[in-house]
Chains A and B, each alone.
Chain A
């Protein structure tokens, strides 16, 4: 080999080496760490406080780890904390929330997905207008509808009572206002605009020819929905589920207005525990109760994070 040919092999070759501790890297990771710390510090304080006993908390070192780890506050928050006359902790609120959550999520997603499917694939006269009105609903602050809905629930409860009494004159009064079912209906309705938009956009991105092929193959409205569209849209259903589960679980306003103490969801009960003005402020119990309440959305995010990202991406990018 001559010297000339060797020289052509010298110099840069392959990937360019990058320094691990370059100024760019230090900047990026430094910023990320600071931001991380900023967001995680409150969580840290909550966890350590919830594991301390009250004497330790009174010493005031909120950042120091617990000297003596105790799970007593967690047990108390779950099973013993008092709200009003009920002293069975958050467990009652948890189960109330579950009974509100499951039917609300199921109903809202079921209806919204069919809505979105119809608006995307079975365009009818005025479907665009209908869609616009529905989307418009997403921009109205729902606080303005609170009182009208109170009346609506009360009156429709009375209406249903009248219908039931046609068949059974001794039937007791049927109440939507103050019942779990009333709240389920409210959640279902308020989930409609954003969920319909989500599903419509997703179904619009499904190739139209697939829909045409299914029609030629003799599948009808429901046939195409259940056999073609549903199996293809798992990611968007997961997204909708996450949105609804977190939204409904974290809801406070509707919960406190449309239910009564026996059926208060977990968030309302948490508020009642944390904000009780009588007696000693049990910070450890409050922290444990708050963490317990936030656990459900957290678990949902961790369990389905990947699908969530995929679904969001699929809904956002066409084709």
Chain B
């Protein structure tokens, strides 16, 4: 067993009756890592978090936290702290009561409780709120108290279950940064569940993308963005999402209709067979325009159908090889709907997936 691993999940199964939610799941999380479990609703990410927390009993498999088998341990004995989407503050207790509840249950001496609460309150800047009840706090303050509740218990692993989903957009960005700062300051292991890819990309050391109770890809945000291992991940990450065009491999090129994208600079994972049916994935922001077109591997000309200026960028809807195609340009690039637009596609920035298995080639 690797001692540097903070959390190890071995062959974990979880089913509710006949419905298998998690299937033979393996995951190692190193000490101090910020891991984000990302997926659409119903993919099992929150279920996995609840299993780690001990709030759900696993059907099969093992769980280790800091090298200790905690498969059968009570949530409070696992060295975890958890932050919930709905904050889950005890409404009848003051902020101070909320923070010290766990410590009181653990029979920590009074003086130490005071000290730890004060310390956590200082880190989270909630000192003026200590004597208030949760219903007298704003959403952001409540979530801070909820984080504080995990903080005072001095735990090994922090678990976050969509902590920012109930907050408004601006506050969400602020607290996101704060969570990241907290991680840099505390250097605890943190496992964070979200369905928001921006949160995942900005916070994570590694992201695990889940679907149907399985991890589709585990890697750094850059890896996941640049080298998605399958079409699902490629489609899930990135906004606006990747363009997918169906075609085949011909003469070391990706061919569809009259278009041929030479694949010399493509880093193939598997051998590309002549005549193989494939999906090509092209990110809207990886399409080049203007001066860069000249050096591109493939230089088609498309007609701008709809132009959506968004300030910093402009989104252009076009058609490529008879299929809808989105392009993201810098906000200052001149483009008008109905006009022709020469674009460039580089093989180094595209992804190829097998048509059948949808795995990366």
Binding site for B on A (CB under 8 A): 207, 209-210, 212-219, 223, 227-228, 231-232
**A216-B102, A219-B76, A232-B92 known, 17 other contacts, Cβ within 8 Å:** A209-B161, A212-B53, A212-B75, A212-B84, A212-B88, A213-B82, A214-B90, A215-B54, A216-B80, A216-B82, A217-B76, A217-B149, A218-B76, A219-B101, A227-B90, A227-B101, A228-B90
Give Cα A295–Cα B245 distance, bound, in whole angstroms.
81
Task: Judge whether A209 and B92 touch: CB under 8 Å.
Answer: no
B131 to nearest A CB, angstroms? 17
Determine chain A's interface SS by DSSP, over half rule: helix
Q: List 6 A-B contacts (CB under 8 A).
A: A207-B86, A209-B86, A212-B53, A213-B90, A218-B76, A232-B91
A200 to B50, CA, bound (A): 23
The yes or no answer to B105 lying at the interface (CB within 8 A) is yes
A227 to B75, CA, bound (A): 18
| B contact set with A: CB distance below 8 Å | 50, 53-55, 74-77, 80-82, 84-86, 88-92, 101-102, 105-106, 146, 149, 153, 161
- Residues from chain B with a CB closer than 8 A to the CB of A213 are 82, 84, 88-90, 146, 149
Chain A residues with CB under 8 Å of B106's CB are 218
- Cα distance, A216 to B90, chains bound together (Å): 13
A218 / chain B contacts, CB cutoff of 8 Å: 74-77, 102, 105-106
Q: Which residues of A contact B88 (CB under 8 A)?
A: 207, 209-210, 212-213
Shortest CB distance B153–A (Å):
8
In angstroms, Cα B98 to Cα A231, docked, is: 14
Min CB distance A32 to B, Å, is 37
For the complex, what is the distance from the CA of A170 to the CA of B101, rounded to whole Å? Answer: 52
Which residues of the other chain, A, contact B105 by a CB distance below 8 angstroms?
Answer: 217-219, 223
Is A212's CB under 8 angstroms from B91's CB? no
Per the bound structure, the CA–CA distance linking A232 and B91 in Å amounts to 8
9 smallest beta-carbon distances between A and B, as pairs = A218-B76, A217-B102, A218-B105, A209-B88, A213-B88, A231-B92, A209-B84, A216-B75, A216-B82
Tell me which residues across on chain A come within 8 A of B55, comparing CB atoms: 212, 215-216
Q: Which of B53, B85, B89, B92 contacts A216 (CB 8 A)?
A: B53
Q: Who on chain B is nearest to A231 by CB? A: B92
Query: Which residues on the A side are within 8 Å of B92 (C-beta)?
Result: 231-232
Measured between beta carbons, the chain B residues less than 8 angstroms from A207 are 86, 88
Q: Give the residue name and chain of the A residue nearest to B83 (CB).
A: A213
**How far is B88's CA from A217's CA once the two chains are assembled, in angstroms?**
12
**Bound CA–CA A223/B105 (angstroms):** 8
Contact B76 A209 (CB under 8 A): no
How far does the alpha carbon of A227 sit from the alpha carbon of B54 in the complex, in Å?
21
Distance in Å: Cβ of B349 to nearest Cβ of chain A = 42
Query: Could you tell me the distance in whole angstroms from the C-beta of A274 to the nearest C-beta in chain B?
Result: 47
Residue of A nearest to B105 (CB): A218
Give Cα A218 to B77, complex, Å. Answer: 8
Q: Give A232 to B134 CA distance when docked, in angstroms.
A: 13
Known contacts being A217-B149, A219-B101, is A212 close to B82, with CB within 8 Å?
A: yes
Q: How far is the CA of A290 from the CA of B82 in the complex (A)?
A: 59
A212 to chain B: which residues have CB within 8 Å?
Answer: 50, 53, 55, 75, 82, 84, 88
Whether the Cβ atoms of A216 and B91 lie closer than 8 Å is no
**Docked CA distance A173–B168 (Å):** 71
A223: B residues at CB distance < 8 A? 105
- Distance of A209 Cα from B142 Cα, bound (Å): 14
Chain A nearest CB, measured from B146 CB (Å): 8
Could you tell me the distance between the alpha carbons of A271 and B105 in the complex, rounded to whole angstroms?
Answer: 54
Closest to B50 in A: A212
Assembly CA distance A254 to B84 (angstroms): 49
- Shortest CB-to-CB span from A238 to chain B, Å, is 16
- A228-B89 Cα distance, complex, nearest whole Å: 10
Cβ of B78 to closest chain A Cβ, rounded Å: 9
Identity of the chain B residue whose Cβ is nearest the Cβ of A207 in the assembled complex = B86
Checking B76, B81, B86, B146 against A215 with a beta-carbon cut-off of 8 angstroms, the contacting residue is: B76
Closest Cβ–Cβ distance, residue B205 to chain A (whole Å): 24
Could you tell me the distance in whole angstroms from the C-beta of B96 to the nearest C-beta in chain A?
A: 14
Q: Give Cα A210 to B90, complex, Å.
A: 7
Contact residues in B for A216 (Cβ distance below 8 Å): 53, 55, 75-76, 80-82, 102
* Interface pair A217/B101, CB less than 8 Å apart: yes
**Residues of chain B within 8 A of A227, CB atoms compared:** 90, 101
Q: Which residues of chain B are within 8 angstroms of A219 by Cβ–Cβ distance?
A: 76, 101, 105
- Complex CA distance for A231 and B101, rounded to whole angstroms: 14
CB distance from B192 to the nearest CB of A (A): 16
Tell me the smallest distance from the CB of B56 to a CB of chain A, in Å. 10
CB neighbours of A217 from chain B (8 A): 76, 101-102, 105, 149, 153
* Docked-complex contact B91 and A215, CB < 8 angstroms: no
Q: What is the CB-to-nearest-CB distance from A247 to chain B, in angstroms, rounded to a whole number?
A: 29
Task: A213 to B91: give the CA distance in the assembly, Å.
Answer: 12
CB-nearest residue of chain A relative to B86?
A: A209
Cα–Cα distance between A188 and B131 once the two chains are bound (Å): 41
One of A209, A228, A231, A232 near B85 (C-beta < 8 A) = A209
- List of A residues within 8 angstroms of B80 by Cβ: 216
CA distance A223 to B85 in the complex (A): 23
Complex CA–CA separation, A227 to B105 (angstroms): 11
* Chain B, Cβ-Cβ closest to A212: B55
B2 to chain A, nearest CB (A): 26
